[in-house]
Amino acid sequence: MHEPVIIDLAKSIFDAQPFSRHLGAVLAQITGERVVIELPLRDELRQQHGIAHGGVLAYLADNAITFAGGVALSDDALTSEFKINYLRPGTGPLLRAVGEPVSVSGRQAVCQCRILSVDGDEETLVALAQGTVVRLSGRGPATDRKPRNL
């Protein structure tokens, strides 16, 4: 696929994700080299100490890795695995996940993600993640198919 086509497909897939809508996530930027997902840190996304819940940070990492890999592979894609390191508490008021491909070959892409806690002009790195994304060649948009075992 040409880059504008895969970016349009990626945007439509993101917009079709009920969980992303539920959380209030926004696909703030998507290019062939970078994906940025932003999420306002509301109280219901915090854990008992008032910081971002680790599951929220993991969601951001997973989605940023998947979309960065899908665009790099020029296809619909899924994360097959990822690892996350929590570095500092995410305090908000905005969380920003920046995903970028590191290595792309054949059917898979290895991508990295930085998750930042943003307060005005100040950005604090709160988590790092890396994962492998696999191509779902010829399967069409995510909303038009049934799940399949990989």
pLDDT in the model for residue 138? 53
Give, in degrees to the nearest 5, the angle at Cα 96 between 93 and 102: 165
Q: What is the arithmetic mean of pLDDT over 62-70?
A: 97
Q: What is the arithmetic mean of pLDDT over 106-135?
A: 97
140 belongs to a structural domain: yes
| Three-state secondary-structure class, residue 29 | strand
> pTM of this prediction?
0.88
Is pLDDT above 60 for 145?
no
Percent of the chain with pLDDT over 90: 83
Percent of the chain with pLDDT over 70: 90
Taking the C-alpha atoms of residue 30 and residue 67, their distance in angstroms, rounded to an integer, is 8
150 belongs to a structural domain: no
Phi, psi values for residue 42, rounded to 5°: -85, 165
Residue 32: CATH number of its domain? 3.10.129.10
Is beta strand 108-119 parallel, antiparallel or unpaired with respect to 122-135?
antiparallel
pLDDT in the model for residue 1? 53
Token output for 107: 């059917």
| Three-state secondary-structure class, residue 142 | helix
Residue 47 bridge partners (DSSP): none
29 belongs to a structural domain: yes
Number of domains within the chain? 1
125 belongs to a structural domain: yes
46 belongs to a structural domain: yes
Is pLDDT above 90 for 150?
no
Q: Where in the sequence is the domain holding 46, given as residue range(s)?
A: 3-144
149 belongs to a structural domain: no
Token output for 10: 């990626």
104 belongs to a structural domain: yes
Could you read off the pLDDT of 8-55 as tens digits, one per residue? 989 999 999 999 999 999 999 999 899 999 999 999 999 999 999 999
- Asked whether 58 and 113 are in contact (CB, 8 A), the reply is no
